[in-house]
Amino acid sequence: MQSNSEYFPPPPVEGVAGGGTGYGWLDSGARRIDIMQRQPTSDLVHVWTMPSTANVGQQEHPRPLEHISMLAARNEKESVQLALRPKVTWSGGGIAGRVQVNCTELRSDSHVLEVGKCVNIFRVVPMLGVPDALVPLELTQGRAVLHPGETLPLWISVYVPSSQPPGIYNGEIIIDALRSDAICLQTNGTFVNKQDIRNKVQDLLDKMDAFDYNSLSEMVEGLRDVKAGLGNLEELFVVLSNQLGTMSMESEDHAFALRVKLSVTVWDFVLPITPSLPAVFGVSETVIEDRFHLEHRSSAWYDALDMHYQWLLRYRISPYFCRWGYNMRVLTYTCPWPADHPKSEEYYSDPRLAVYAVPYTPALSSSVAAKETLKKELEILRTKSHWKKAYFYLWDEPLSLEHYDMIRAMSEEIRSTAPDARVLTTYYCGPSDYSYAPGSFEAFVKVPNILRPHTQIFCTSEWVLGTREELVNDIISELQPENNEEWWTYVCMGPTDPHPNWHLGMRGTQHRAVMWRVWKEGGTGFLYWGVNCYEKALSPGAEVRFRRGLPPGDGTLFYPGQFFDRNLREPVASLRLERLLSGLQDYEYLKAYASQFGRPAALALLEKTGLYLGPDRYTHDHGPIDLVRTEVHHYLRTDR
């Protein structure tokens, strides 16, 4: 059917002269891949690393692969990202293909960092199109689906326990493209090829064909054999029931795998168990009650709050549960159990907890019983050694003298039982009906004059400062440290871009810079209003929606696990929460450096590296972060 060969001349090389349908200028050095043959994973998938401060979207372009090298102190968590993008589609089912991602344990000469305990891998899932949620890859037995033309970022965290001996720990991340035509079942950790199963059935049939149907003894013997085979098959079916819908590796030899070296230098420094900066973070009990259908103060309710508390403690923050009352009155408490309960001692004495909120019980109902409860609580707590961690957070952002009067009344009630109690008050302006011009900086800065002695912790919004870092001096000079007055800060809706905050869509260094800012400005504590303040939902797996009127991500630093997988009972952290933790860890590095070499030297380090100069002047790249950490590591180690 083909025509004479004279019809067309041999084709020329196209596109040399440019234009038209000629190819563009990009030659990717593409190779011909025959997906019918098993191929090295590196021929099927682009893999490259990205720093933890990169927001790696689905459109991220591949880069050359570099092996991973990390520096970590003890009691520190460091993270890095691994981006995967299919070069070619090798699978059916409307996807590019599946990969199996495993990490080996990380070994030094004689010690290990264990996978699962110290090393964990997550899929970075976009929220509103922005990479944010970290879903454990172990949910899918380390398997990930790659989609055509899409980059999948993985998040790799290494936590070094305080007790871990310093040294260089080496391991590998092994990425194996799974063949769609080699579907296997995993049973008790070993891998069974599906072809094996069919062979087994065929074997049984062959055996039965070969029976001597005239010899009873031989048949009994043969049947015993067949029965054993069937039992074995049934076992495989049980596995099948659990595993159907997933695939696993063809073999464990990883002959076609792509390997990324992961090296962690653990140095001598131990990040303090008790965070140097008290950072208090609000957890809405209402949101938990609604989503998980928990009756207030039921046994399941206590379990849920306890789970959230324990989970959040890993992030170097001091959680407080909260519920809004009338006006901006707020009930806040770190421990859901009363002071005479053993759990209370466990919570308040935990060295990871820097400070705790004591419930001002009459916040929601000023009954006599509530007042009595408060008094009883205070009488117990003020005798404890952990009492120095206690604070009261009574009212959010008072705006008028009427609000100030409320705070005064509550504070007086508290201090009548516990005169040394500390009250925290948040504000971003002065009272609108006082002698200063409403909304003026002067009205704001003079707030301590009105709240003294009813507040000890003056917690102001970073938003107020704008880019004028020098206003910090004006705020601090109004305080009386000799009377235990402290300056804390907070971020919420403001400040917005380009200033540091935790909104979705901000750059990674912007998330991390919140705590660089706190260190540079010198506040002695930090408050964040909400970590789980989604829109109302009544099912654990209901879609998580950000609240209207708030910048996306504001008030939400983790997600309910059930939103990502019905079997996931733990929360799913956001990138932003991890970057907050990194910022708190950086804080410890800077503090350690400053205590050794003085604060001016630490400030010079920030300046020299370009890490953080002010709320609108901080690094956009990851480079200065590694630079600061390496310098601190170098000088602190040398100096010892």
- Positions 225 through 254 that interact with a copy of itself (CB under 8 A): 226-227, 230-231, 233-234, 237-238, 240-241, 244-247
Q: Among 40, 67, 223, 616, indicate the residue that binds a copy of itself (CB under 8 A).
A: 223
Chain positions 259 to 298 lying near a copy of itself, rule: CB under 8 A, are 282, 284-287, 289, 293, 296-298
Does the protein bind a copy of itself through residue 38 (CB under 8 A)? no
What is the rounded distance in angstroms from the CA atom of residue 366 to the CA atom of residue 374?
A: 10
638 binding a copy of itself? (CB under 8 A): no
Q: Is 89 in the site for a copy of itself (CB under 8 A)?
A: yes
CB of 631 to a copy of itself, least distance (A): 39
Q: Are 415 and 421 in contact (CB under 8 A)?
A: yes
Would you say 187 and 124 are in contact if contact means Cβ atoms under 8 Å apart? no
Residue 276 or 556 having the CB closest to a copy of itself:
556
365 or 467: CB nearest a copy of itself: 365
CB of 472 to a copy of itself, least distance (A): 26
Smallest separation (angstroms) from a copy of itself to the CB of 209: 8
Judged by beta carbon, residue 95 or residue 471, the one nearer a copy of itself is 95
- Using CB under 8 A, pick the residue from 63, 66, 162, 202 that binds a copy of itself: 202
Q: Which of 112, 550, 594, 627 binds a copy of itself (CB under 8 A)?
A: 550
Q: Which of 40, 116, 129, 623 binds a copy of itself (CB under 8 A)?
A: 129
Q: Is 300 in the site for a copy of itself (CB under 8 A)?
A: no
Distance CA 430, CA 438 (A): 7
If the CB atoms of residues 128 and 437 are measured against a copy of itself, the closer one turns out to be: 128
Decide if 448 contacts 488 (C-beta within 8 A). no
Question: Rule CB under 8 A: is residue 361 a binding residue for a copy of itself?
Answer: yes
15 binds a copy of itself (CB under 8 A): yes
**Burial tier of 154 (Cβ tally within 10 Å: 0-12, 13-18, 19+):** buried
Task: Kindly state the smallest distance separating residue 384's Cβ from a copy of itself, in Å.
Answer: 17
Residues 6+ away with beta carbon under 8 Å from 637: 267, 268, 269
Shortest Cβ 117–a copy of itself spacing (Å): 22
Select the residue interacting with a copy of itself from 42, 104, 108, 140 (CB under 8 A): 140
CB of 312 to a copy of itself, least distance (A): 15
The CA distance from 536 to 542, in Å, is 10
| Binding-site member from 72, 88, 101, 475 for a copy of itself (CB under 8 A) | 88
Binding to a copy of itself in span 393-432, by CB under 8 A = 396-397
> Which member of 53, 79, 91, 461 binds a copy of itself (CB under 8 A)?
91
Shortest Cβ 356–a copy of itself spacing (Å) = 16
In the list 66, 116, 220, 467, the residue contacting a copy of itself (rule: CB under 8 A) is 220
168 binds a copy of itself (CB under 8 A): no
By beta-carbon proximity to a copy of itself, the closer residue of 112 and 236 is 236
Task: Please give the full DSSP string across 346-412, using - where no structure is assigned.
Answer: HHHH-TT---EEPP-GGGT---HHHHHHHHHHHHHHTTSGGGGGEEEEEEES--SHHHHHHHHHHHH
Question: Where in 560-579 is the site for a copy of itself (CB under 8 A)?
Answer: 562-567
Cβ proximity to a copy of itself: between 456 and 556 the closer is 556
Q: What DSSP element (H or E) covers 617?
A: strand 617-618
**Hey, what are 443's tokens?**
């009205």
Q: Give the sign of the dihedral formed by CA 33, CA 36, CA 40, CA 44.
A: positive
If the CB atoms of residues 128 and 601 are measured against a copy of itself, the closer one turns out to be 128
- Total residues contacting a copy of itself by CB under 8 A comes to 146
Distance CA 43, CA 459 (A): 55
**Between residues 181 and 405, which has the closer beta carbon with respect to a copy of itself?**
181
Strand partners, 152: 84
Q: Count CA atoms within 13 Å of residue 508 on its CB side.
A: 24
How far is Cα 459 from Cα 526, in angstroms, rounded to an integer? 8
Nearer to a copy of itself, 221 or 442 (CB): 221
Residue closer to a copy of itself by CB (options 291, 633) is: 291
* Cα of 295 vs its chain's centroid, Å: 28
Indicate whether 34 belongs to the interface with a copy of itself (CB under 8 A).
Answer: yes
Which tokens is 547 given?
Answer: 């609240």
Nearest CA-CA partner of 30 in 18, 21, 17, 43: 43
Amino acid symbol at 348? Y
- Taking the least distance from each CB to a copy of itself, the nearer of 21 and 483 is 21
Options 168-176, 221-229, 309-317, 465-473: segment touching a copy of itself (CB under 8 A): 221-229
357 contacts 333 by C-beta, under 8 angstroms: yes
> Which residues in the 57-86 window bind a copy of itself by CB under 8 A?
58-59, 85-86
If one asks whether residue 3 binds a copy of itself (CB under 8 A), the answer comes out as yes
Side-chain half-sphere of 224: how many Cα atoms within 13 Å? 6
CA geometry: angle at 383 spanning 379 and 386, to 5°?
115
Q: Is the distance from CB of 106 to CB of 63 less than 8 angstroms?
A: no
535 binds a copy of itself (CB under 8 A): yes
Q: Which amino acid is at 423?
A: V
Q: Which two tokens stand for residue 165?
A: 């001996």
Mention every residue, 6+ apart, whose C-beta is less than 8 A from residue 631: 593, 605, 609
